[in-house]
Structure 1
Amino acid sequence: MSRIPHPEVDVPRQLPPRGLTRGGRNPRPWRDPRLRSTGALLTSLTALAATSLVAGPTTAEAAAGPCELRRTAAHHSEGLDTWNTAYPRPARTLDAVMVFLSFPDSPPLTTPEELAADHFPATSRFFEQASYGKFRLSPHPRREWVEMPRASMAYAIQRDWNAKRRAAYLRDALAAADPHVDFSRYDIVYFVADPDAPGVDSDATKVVNLDRPMRADGTDIRRVVTVFERHPPDRNVLAHETGHVFDLPDLYHRPTDGKGDWDTHVGDWDVMGSQFGLAPDLFGWHKWKLGWLESPQVRCVAAGAQRLTLEPLSAPATGGAVGGTRLAVVRTGPDTAIALEGRGAVGNDHAACTEGVLVYEVRNGTASGGGPIEVVDAHPETESCWGDSVYPQLADAPVRVGESFRVPGEDLRVEIDVEARTAAGAWTLRVAVG
């Protein structure tokens, strides 16, 4: 059964920076066709809209290798040659404040402590494991309820939220919280609504990016995570939403009619696809983008045949060092790449349905929600883990030991032979490109 994921609210409208073009879906056939301050605040909120800081400033970091894709103007572009400094980079400890909002029409039935425990320490633990200890998300939950000035029904909270109603909600939330919270101390803001209030819709949990930042305590607030979760909440939902704060895209597919499967692009294999996934650790490509994997852990595979060993992506660092190769990349075009990584039942992937070498395509010009990453199914005729997997058709996607697999495509031949698995759990494989 497919579960509906939580969206991020922002529709890019900025023009691309000079030298970049607005990205679209790459037509090359690399995927199998069978794959499925309060005063200042009032002024700044007059232009609040569901928009995003897409292009933003860039860092001056040099490219790490020939298999990097450039960052484009696509919203949450999967290009990683530069970092969009409009977003905080999770390479250090980041402080997050949780503000708990009640409503005059509904006395809370829970406490802030109970709601904070719904998300922490689980969310911090997810990122600590995903980052190999390089990033720490430090939560600072408030101990009291902050009452909103209007009844919960007045805001018409819903998944596809009216922009004016959403603006009113954020304006009221920040104005109510400002006397109690020094927002200058925090990198991330979570506004957590009373889950039992009658106007609260759990499907409306999302990140709101602001075209014009809100202003409080001398600091700009460019995005807010609005949390409307039930108690207890969906699994890993806050890890998914926080990923957007770090410029990661939605990887799920949203059907145009609201019906059908949402998880056809990546299935269980990244929390940015589904917070319910059996193997929700972030793709190696995302760990590279965020700086948790560096050049020594990434192998660029050029023309010809190479043998390599892939350590399990989710295996922890040893002695503070991320050992071995965790990601292999084949550049397939100016804006596309094929990525290979070993996925085993360890760390955030401890409940993985199957183990092996996962193959997926990356497109730097495809925007969030449009399929910037798609898993390539090495077993398109079979399925696994019915009743547990969000998309059983991709639950057995990895190439297993003893199997050979040719990545579908016409312009470049990429063949993978998974030869063995070491006693320590790494996969040895041969990759032929040409």
Structure 2
Amino acid sequence: MQRRQAPGGVDRRRLRQAAAIFVSFMALTATSLVAGPAVATVGGAGACALPRTDAHHSLGLDSWNSAYPRPVGTLDAVMIFLSFPGAVPDDTPQELTADYFPSTTTFFRRASYGKFTLRPHPMKRWTTMPKPASAYAIRRDWSPDERDAYLRDAVDAADPAVDFSKYDLVYLIADPDAPGVDSDATKVVNLDTPLHADGTEIRRFVTGFERHPPDRNVLAHETGHAFDLPDLYHRPSDDKGDWDTYVGDWDVMGSQFGLAPDFFGWHKWKLGWLDRRQVGCLRGTNAQMFTLEPLEEVPAPGADTAGTRLLILRTGLESALAIEARTAAGNDATTCSEGILIYRVKADLASGDGAVRVVDAHPHSSACWGTSVYPPLADAPLGVGETFTVPGNGTKVEVADRTPSGAWTVKVTPVV
């Protein structure tokens, strides 16, 4: 939901690398046009790692944008609960904390295969702002001046009780019932000029204005932005009509209400939860069989999470085709359909501009009306025995069978 470009964008080395990237891609393309067996180079997926660009929340992942914390290991988040003069909160900070945790921590633990723990530190008392909520004109498309005043007042009010230097993330949770609070204004705010407190710079905040109880998975979505992930929904120009035409239920960065909200494999690769051993970079043009492990968390505690979980076909300097297996497990337990999901990735498109677009393998049908956020894409994955040729690309994907362990046997005939 962000609107402003975060600091610390692509550094100048990107200019120096442009020629090298072009030469590398031309070599990769030349290889793919030579007759011979297709090869999924697992462990050598670097050739398919799109370059990070100047686009806001670029999905290029050849390097990490150091302006953002990387969600590997443990990150500490302070939750500050803001009340306003003239309005007595109906809920306690403890009740609002329970709206978001431990569910958000569990979401990230599952998505990361246990590689990331989000550790909340909720304040036990309300922090009173100096002005009524209405004075800040809180709304979705918030004016920078009024928003910045809100952030400054929040930090100043909380500073006596909070040591900001101890935390990687800051959640500002407003009294949801205070006059002037707009639940649609929940978002991450990135500051070009950081605020300072306790000897540390604060460049981004998650500002929460949700009702009690809040929208499902809303904090997971906003926290994803704090890790440099883009909005995957499409906002209509008049705010009417479908917002979920790009990815439907697939990935929480598209919709917090999705039936299959686990992160795409591309996101997991970018965040460091999939390593190169688990990503296959497709080369060549002849058909080859692959075994894809389900993307979701392995249900059995302590089970091995190794194995190929993502196949990538580079289609341009800043574009790729991704293939992964989605099943009814972990964060996707409520999915409408299971199977092999195909989607396009563009590293040069900004947040909200369609950086990921799911390819509908069943374009003439829909599914899960009444529960799916966008039924035309709810049945997008390929099932066992089905074959699909990607429009505009020509790559053919066939699902041969499913192994006793739950992995998917997939035949891919690449075309670039």
Which of 123, 147, 167 aligns to 1:142? It is 123
Q: Secondary structure at the match of 2:287?
A: strand
Structure 1 window deviating more from structure 2 (108-117 vs 423-432): it is 423-432
Distance across 2 between alignment mates of 1:63 and 1:9: 36
Letter in 1 for 2:342: V
Per the alignment, residue 347 of structure 1 pairs with 330
Q: Is residue 94 of structure 1 aligned with residue 104 of structure 2?
A: no
Per the alignment, residue 350 of structure 2 pairs with 367
Residue 105 of structure 1: how far off its partner (Å): 1.8
Alpha-carbon distance change, 262 to 330 in structure 1, aligned in 2, over 3 angstroms: same
Distance across 2 between alignment mates of 1:15 and 1:193: 30
Per the alignment, residue 294 of structure 2 pairs with 312
Per the alignment, residue 49 of structure 1 pairs with none
Per the alignment, residue 52 of structure 2 pairs with 71
Distance across 2 between alignment mates of 1:15 and 1:152: 33
Distance across 2 between alignment mates of 1:140 and 1:399: 42
Q: Is residue 394 of structure 1 aligned with residue 377 of structure 2?
A: yes
Structure 2 matches for 1:226-375, cutoff 5 A?
226-303=207-284, 304-316=286-298, 319=302, 321-375=304-358
Per the alignment, residue 9 of structure 1 pairs with 3
Distance across 2 between alignment mates of 1:83 and 1:63: 18
Residue 321 of structure 1: how far off its partner (Å): 4.3
| Deviation sequence 1:196-245 (CA, Å, 0-9, x none) | 10110000000000001110001111100000000000000000000000
Q: Is residue 377 of structure 1 aligned with residue 360 of structure 2?
A: yes
Distance across 2 between alignment mates of 1:234 and 1:227: 11
Q: Is residue 187 of structure 1 aligned with residue 165 of structure 2?
A: no
Q: Secondary structure at the match of 1:288?
A: helix
Letter in 2 for 1:383: S
Residue 8 of structure 1: how far off its partner (Å): 2.0
User: Is contact 2:176–2:210 with CA below 8 Å preserved after alignment?
Assistant: yes
Q: Secondary structure at the match of 1:249?
A: coil
Letter in 2 for 1:72: T
User: Is contact 1:9–1:206 with CA below 8 Å preserved after alignment?
Assistant: no
TM-score (norm 2): 0.90
User: Is contact 2:45–2:279 with CA below 8 Å preserved after alignment?
Assistant: no
Structure 2 matches for 1:399-418, cutoff 5 A?
399-409=382-392, 412-418=393-399
Distance across 1 between alignment mates of 2:99 and 2:310: 33
| Deviation sequence 1:18-39 (CA, Å, 0-9, x none) | 3648xxxxxxxxxxxxxxxxxx
Q: Secondary structure at the match of 1:128?
A: helix
Distance across 1 between alignment mates of 2:72 and 2:95: 29
The count of aligned residue pairs is 387
Distance across 2 between alignment mates of 1:212 and 1:321: 44
User: Is contact 2:55–2:348 with CA below 8 Å preserved after alignment?
Assistant: yes
Q: Secondary structure at the match of 1:191?
A: strand
Per the alignment, residue 41 of structure 1 pairs with none
Per the alignment, residue 424 of structure 1 pairs with 405
Q: 5+ unaligned residues in a row in structure 2: which ranges?
A: 16-42
Q: Secondary structure at the match of 1:66?
A: helix
User: Is contact 2:6–2:191 with CA below 8 Å preserved after alignment?
Assistant: no
Residue 333 of structure 1: how far off its partner (Å): 1.2
Q: Secondary structure at the match of 1:203?
A: helix
Q: Secondary structure at the match of 1:143?
A: coil
| Deviation sequence 1:29-77 (CA, Å, 0-9, x none) | xxxxxxxxxxxxxxxxxxxxxxxxxxxxxxxxx9852111111111111
Identity of aligned residues (%): 63
User: Is contact 2:249–2:261 with CA below 8 Å preserved after alignment?
Assistant: yes
Letter in 2 for 1:375: V
Letter in 2 for 1:334: L
Residue 320 of structure 1: how far off its partner (Å): 6.7
Alpha-carbon distance change, 110 to 311 in structure 1, aligned in 2, over 3 angstroms: same
| Deviation sequence 1:316-347 (CA, Å, 0-9, x none) | 28647422111011111111100000000000
Alpha-carbon distance change, 108 to 221 in structure 1, aligned in 2, over 3 angstroms: same
Alpha-carbon distance change, 423 to 430 in structure 1, aligned in 2, over 3 angstroms: same
Structure 2 matches for 1:152-231, cutoff 5 A?
152-231=133-212
Distance across 1 between alignment mates of 2:303 and 2:194: 37
Letter in 2 for 1:311: E
Residue 259 of structure 1: how far off its partner (Å): 1.3
Residue 11 of structure 1: how far off its partner (Å): 4.1
User: Is contact 2:83–2:128 with CA below 8 Å preserved after alignment?
Assistant: yes
Distance across 2 between alignment mates of 1:123 and 1:149: 30
Q: Is residue 116 of structure 1 aligned with residue 97 of structure 2?
A: yes
User: Is contact 2:291–2:409 with CA below 8 Å preserved after alignment?
Assistant: yes
What RMSD in Å do the two structures reach over aligned CA positions? 1.8
User: Is contact 2:89–2:177 with CA below 8 Å preserved after alignment?
Assistant: yes
